[in-house]
Amino acid sequence: CYNLQNSNTKFSGLIPCNMFGKDDTSSHFIPTLIRKVRNATDKIELHGTGEELRQFMFVDDFAMIIKQYLAEITPINLSCPFFNVAPATVYTVKQIAKLVALIMNKPIDIVFNDIDNTQYRKDVSSDLLREHMTLNFTDIETALKATI
């Protein structure tokens, strides 16, 4: 962003938090979790303690935000014209794992191996973008049901 400070370049960008959606086969948390739960017979093992905090966004919401952004926002000349996009709600990994198992009707044990290689918080704020437009997000349970 430093090189843009004295530039007349006018552009901006959107930086999403963790996304998920239907037919997602990436290695990100929710698609991997869905695969693990689907294939589980009695339990799944996840890294960390389960208390790690994350934000998740339904990919359809991000698509609508991009569309709205392109229609409403004129590129602005800021020293760093990038906007974080994320719902304000933060969930623990354990909450999401239990919710996915519940939605999939899989009564499995969810075990956390307590490997200390995970970052406790990864949340971001969309407050700067909210100054320019209204953000609407699908609640996590509805989004997960549409995904699974």
Predicted TM-score (pTM) of the model is 0.87
**pLDDT tens per residue, the chain (148 residues)?**
445 556 666 667 899 999 999 999 888 899 999 999 999 999 999 999 999 999 999 999 999 999 998 888 766 655 567 899 999 999 999 999 999 999 999 999 999 998 766 788 888 999 988 988 899 999 999 999 999 9
Query: To 10 degrees, what angle do helices 29-39 and 140-147 make?
Result: 60
Q: Hey, which residues does 42 pair with through a beta bridge? A: none
Largest CA distance in the chain: 59
Q: Which helix (H) or strand (E) holds 142?
A: helix 140-147
pLDDT for position 128: 87
- Give the integer Cα–Cα distance in Å for 146 and 63: 15
pLDDT for position 82: 84
